[in-house]
Homo-oligomer: A and B are copies of this chain.
Amino acid sequence: MLRMSSLFLRTLRDDPADAEVPSHKLLVRAGYIRRIAAGIYSWLPLGVITLRNVENIIREEMDKAGFQEVHFPALLPKEAYEATNRWEEYGPSLFRLQDRKGGDYLLGPTHEEMFTLMVKGEYSSYKDLPLTIYQIQNKFRDEARPRSGIIRGREFVMKDSYSFDLTDEGLGISYDKHRDAYITTFDRLHLKYNIVKAVSGAMGGSKSEEFLAPCPTGEDTYVLCPKCGFAANVEAMVTKVTPADASGVPALEELDTPNTPTIDSLVDVLNSKFGGGFTGASTLKNVLLMADKKAISVLVPGDREVDLKRLQAGLPGVEELRVFEVADFAKHPGLVKGYIGPQDAGKFGITVYADPRVAPGTSWVTGANKKDRHARNVVNGRDFTPDAYVEAAEIREGDSCPECSTAVVIDRAIEIGHIFQLGRKYADALGLTVLDQNGKSQVVTMGSYGIGVSRAVAAIAEQSYDEIGLVWPLEVAPAKVHIVATGKEDLPFDTALDIATKLEASGITVMLDDRRDPSAGVKFKDAELIGIPVIIVVGKSLAEGKIELRNRKSGEKSEVAVGDAISAVTTLIASLS
């Protein structure tokens, strides 16, 4: 039983100055967490209980699925991370340190390498597989912009799992099993979420999905089809386009277009020259970029920007993308800035990528590769041919769903889980092989699966607060019932303690506000802020032998005879679970 008379808890009246999102404000005000440094938080007693409730639900579902728990240190020697190149790739996000002998160590951001080596150390036969192992552990990432309290922290609790299979088919099965376990887990946590297609990126993996909890302050944007339910993060959104018939398009025509280095200025000139009908979408933008050390040109409709994250996701192996700078133009004197077209791409030795919207057969107005000159009726496949297609244009609300062509919406969310078919990248790099049925050595294929445990606490808060405080789901709340005793007499306090004791005896956890000093109003405010789902008030109505039962979420109140308190609470709780 938690007793507020001695509980290490002080609620705050005001939002912390550095808090921007509701979960951060409320978790601090209600006394769940405290800030230690940027992105580094401590947990007060109510926070510890809530965090552990979330952790235990996750653990139970992992165990039920047959996954086995192990535990790694956070402090790891660099060698394995060098073998996979992540020691470098992580850049400044990795906390690196040296021990007293000058040995290099890191604080684990995730543990792919260590799990791979662990399995390598124990297993050697296909008979040992499949295997899925997991841990719940503190992770460290030196985020450039830690923010939103415990949503994006630098030390945080994560559940990370790794699956090991002999075959791609096996990996698919392990992946689906994990996906199912995540669904059950997040359902138990009462989180609303979408399972969103993600790109597997440069990791060599083949399939990846994110569990995103929609919330207006979320950092992640994703695409959702209101009709068929298709969901993808922006990087994974696919543009469905059909080739156009360009047979009736007149021949390419060069135009005098002085002083039109921008799309807007070009559209104005075109409309005045041809009496209207041109928009940004009529034009073709040639965006010049440096992809690592290689110059590339990316073709997108003139009314859309290039989304660098989407583009990068489509260019495996490219680590850095940046737009052309003056120095880059200087190295390509043939390029006429503001008047570039893909017609003569071959001359410049630059690889040309086209967004799928620049489909074969489509016709465009674009640069003529001469100062103050553009060309119209420039047809893809007739007047130019891209070297490759890649998703590059920004995604907008109203774009077509790739599954059912309905106009999609763009929503914000918090990433609470990520499941990922890694494939053989790590096993290859670290030599994890087993002997197959024929005694032949085979590289194992892996999946990795993560849930942000501390972040989930915040995500639940983000989805279930109201204007007066937190509203926890039953299984997550630091107690199931919050009993507030009021008044100056002993009777309400004795009665409250009696009810609390009986509830605890029947397995229902209780927080008892047995403080004598604060007013009833202060106690009610605290109860509302803290967000335990069932509130009992033992006070005024005790004169008629009654207590008040409140449903924190709905606000419903009812009076119940003291003798019926336990059964009434039990019924209310059953209705909430």
Contacts and interface: CB of A to CB of B under 8 A. Distances in A.
A243 interface: no
A100 B43 contact: no
A138 interface: yes
A45 B74 contact: no
A42 B118 contact: yes
Contacts of A77: 36-37, 40
Given A8-B122, A36-B76, A77-B36, A71 B95 contact: no
Interface string A66-90: 1011111111110000000000000
A71 B100 contact: no
B37 A74 contact: no
Contact of A99 (B6, B8, B95, B121): B95
B8 A68 contact: yes
A10 interface: yes
Contacts of A69: 45, 48-49
Contacts of A10: 122-123
A155 B76 CA distance: 10
Interface residues of A, number: 53
A45, A114, A142 interface centre (most CB from chain B within 10 Å): A142
Given A40-B73, A75-B40, A75-B155, A66 B140 contact: no
Interface string A12-50: 000000000000000000010010110011111101110
Nearest to A131: B8
Interface in A355-374: none
Contacts of A154: 75, 99
For the complex, would chain A's binding face be called helix, strand, loop or mixed by DSSP majority?
A: mixed
Contact of A36 (B72, B99, B100): B72
A92 interface: yes
Interface in A99-122: 99-100, 103, 105, 107, 114, 118, 121-122
B96 A70 contact: no
A470 interface: no
A518 to B, nearest CB: 12
Contacts of A31: 122
Nearest to A51: B71
Contacts of A74: 74, 138, 155
B68 A100 contact: no
B96 A92 contact: no
Contact of A44 (B70, B138, B142): B70
Contacts of A198: none
B92 A100 contact: yes
B100 A142 contact: yes
B45 A70 contact: yes
A35 to B, nearest CB: 10
Contacts of A42: 70-73, 114, 118
A577 to B, nearest CB: 23
A70 B43 contact: yes
Contacts of A140: 75
Contacts of A241: none
A7 interface: yes
A445 B99 CA distance: 34
Interface in A191-249: none
A137 to B, nearest CB: 9
Contact of A95 (B7, B68, B97): B97
Interface string A136-169: 0010101010000000001100000000000000
A207 to B, nearest CB: 25
A75 B107 contact: yes
A72 B154 CA distance: 13
Given A99-B142, A138-B73, A6 B66 contact: yes
A479 interface: no
Contacts of A96: 97
A429 to B, nearest CB: 18
A119 to B, nearest CB: 8
Contacts of A266: none
A69 B44 CA distance: 7
A472 B70 CA distance: 20
A133 interface: yes
Nearest to A154: B75
The 7 A-B residue pairs whose C-beta atoms are closest, nearest first, are A97-B97, A43-B71, A92-B100, A73-B155, A37-B77, A10-B122, A45-B68
19 contacts: A6-B131, A9-B122, A10-B122, A34-B118, A36-B76, A37-B75, A40-B75, A40-B77, A42-B118, A43-B71, A44-B118, A45-B69, A45-B70, A47-B70, A51-B71, A75-B140, A92-B100, A93-B100, A100-B144
Given A37-B77, A95-B97, A99-B154, 10 more contacts: A10-B122, A34-B121, A37-B76, A42-B70, A44-B70, A45-B68, A47-B70, A75-B107, A75-B155, A97-B97
